[in-house]
A and B are shown apart, each in its own frame.
Chain A
Amino acid sequence: MFVSRSMTQKVITTGSEASVFDAYEKMSQNRIRHLPIIDADGRLIGIVTDRDIRSALPYSMIKDPARTAETEKVKDLKVKDIMTTDPKTIGPHHTIQDALVLIQELRVGALPVVDKEGKLKGILSVRDLLRAFINVLGFGQPGTLLCILVEEKVGQMKKIVDAITEEGISFGSVLVARYFEKDKRAVFPYLLTQNVARIKRKFKDMGYTLVDPMEWYLDELPKYEKE
């Protein structure tokens, strides 16, 4: 769950003296939207996004670089002229939860990852985060999702985990979420099996309610919060 494990390590970078047009070409060739700018020692000094570049270059030039009149005007424009200096960063030992909160608060598409010396170690984009969460939720592997409604009290999860373990079924993940009914929790075990009929019957016999997944949705949560 650490940034260092989920970030992109081979970062495409450039220096502050590079021309904006070269930076643009580098980004489009590598199909990236964030270009960290580093100094000779590999320290992060800024970042350029595809939006910065599109604002700096005339549209006609992005479309057709051969149009010399406009190319002349901007050819001396350098990365240092348009980059965001002192960009928001995150450390390799922060967690992906930290990154999730930070990216949401800052409304950015990616965070450069820098160590204590300020050296660039990687970049963590929204796409990297999505990959990490698909991994955490486990649904990259074949499995079946159950939804069990439980009273909000200690020890419920143990019973559920024990029952599943007794069946010899492996877990892809377990998610616990608020339920719109007060004092209830919805537990979502993602089970790495097709063979769920027996465990479902077992939960019913144990007195649990298996919720029709359609009755549980994140849209239900605000209702609970408003009450």
Chain B
Amino acid sequence: MRKTGFLYDERFLLHETGPYHPEVPERLTAIYQGIEEGGLLPKLVRIKANPAQRRWIETVHDSAYIDRFGDTCFSGKRVFDHPDNQMCADTYDAAFLAVGGILQTIDMVMEGEIDNAFCAVRPPGHHAERDHALGFCYFNNVAIAARYLQQKWEIEKIGIIDFDVHHGNGTQNIFDQDPTVFYYSIHEHPTFSFPGTGREFEFGSGPGYGYTKNNPVLPGQGDAEYTVLVEENLVKDFERFQPGFVLVSAGFDGHKDDDMSDVNLTTECYSWLMKRIMKIADRHCNGRIVSVLEGGYCLQRLPELARNHVAALLKE
């Protein structure tokens, strides 16, 4: 059994998105409830968040962007950069807490206190670009985590696995030219699904060419396609790249009951996927994984999906 950290902070619930928005605080409570009812809480090392130091956020985002986000939030505006990005007065602080909590979690893994961790954070991050917010995301949590690992802990090569059903445009663009971060994403085909990037022929550019891999999946496809694509692409690419740390952008919105996408994954496939990722991390980086929540909107399915996700990390 592994020592697994669980980042969960009730202040992540303070980020309110208003009526008719799918990215709601109830997502996190559903996740917490699933893990609790599965009897897993006592087995986890609980982590509370402290706000991130701004200098770490600035490794990814423009200083002017962070100011603009803060100014907009505290001025009482409820939308930032795009009508999808609904927020409240607590959003800016929640975003700092999410990043801060993830960086603490990384410290704990690197100091050997825990083997791996699941960070149940809000707001999510993988659509956030260097200088603008998109798709419910403000700070690119996983991208900042990668820079932190490189700069504070001197881990040279970071592997990012993004299985949210939407392509992580922000993460891809941030590391587009960077051969030290491999970005792998499997998602619904961009012709049909938000944000419209992550086509099969996007491989990164300049020195980063070959360090981005996209596996678009057509609407209606599911478990069968995922298992083949992951084995043929992710497993082989990471064998070649040999990451020193694995970061996961964990989105559960490809589940067949999640109406944010037309991809039809089963609960079992999500469990398989996380177990497969564990094997990859065991092989290349002593099992060092920090998994960070992105999407997943089906409140009925999130409890079991989160429970199984954590169980895979615990390697019970």
Name the interface residues of B150-196: CB closer than 8 Å to any CB of A.
166, 169, 191-196
* In the complex, chain B residues whose CB is within 8 Å of the CB of A140: 196
Chain A: number of interface residues, binned into ranges: 20 to 34
Minimum CB distance partner of A199 in chain B = B20
Instruction: Please count the residue pairs between chain A and chain B whose beta carbons lie under 8 angstroms apart in the complex.
Output: 60
State A200–B260 Cα separation when bound (angstroms).
9
Residue-by-residue, is A138-154 near B (CB-CB < 8 Å gives 1, otherwise 0)?
01111111000000000
Q: Can you spell out 27 A-B residue pairs with CB atoms less than 8 angstroms apart? A: A142-B82, A142-B127, A142-B134, A142-B135, A142-B195, A142-B196, A145-B191, A168-B83, A193-B83, A193-B84, A194-B260, A195-B21, A195-B84, A196-B194, A196-B260, A197-B259, A197-B260, A197-B297, A198-B20, A198-B22, A200-B259, A201-B259, A212-B219, A212-B262, A213-B262, A214-B218, A214-B220
Whether a CB of chain B sits under 8 angstroms from the CB of A170 is: yes
Name the interface residues of A191-227: CB closer than 8 Å to any CB of B.
193-198, 200-201, 212-214
* In the complex, chain A residues whose CB is within 8 Å of the CB of B82: 142
Whether a CB of chain A sits under 8 angstroms from the CB of B136 is: yes
* In the complex, chain A residues whose CB is within 8 Å of the CB of B297: 197
Do A194 and B219 touch across chains, with their CB atoms under 8 A apart? no
Given A168-B83, A194-B84, A197-B260, 7 other A-B residues pairs in contact with their CB atoms under 8 A: A169-B83, A170-B83, A194-B166, A194-B195, A197-B297, A198-B20, A200-B259
* In the complex, chain B residues whose CB is within 8 Å of the CB of A143: 194-196
* In the complex, chain A residues whose CB is within 8 Å of the CB of B194: 142-144, 193-194, 196
CB distance from B101 to the nearest CB of A (A): 24
CB distance from B76 to the nearest CB of A (A): 19
* In the complex, chain A residues whose CB is within 8 Å of the CB of B196: 139-143
Name the interface residues of B48-87: CB closer than 8 Å to any CB of A.
82-84
CB distance from B102 to the nearest CB of A (A): 22
Do A142 and B21 touch across chains, with their CB atoms under 8 A apart? no
Name the interface residues of A67-105: CB closer than 8 Å to any CB of B.
none
State A198–B82 Cα separation when bound (angstroms).
18
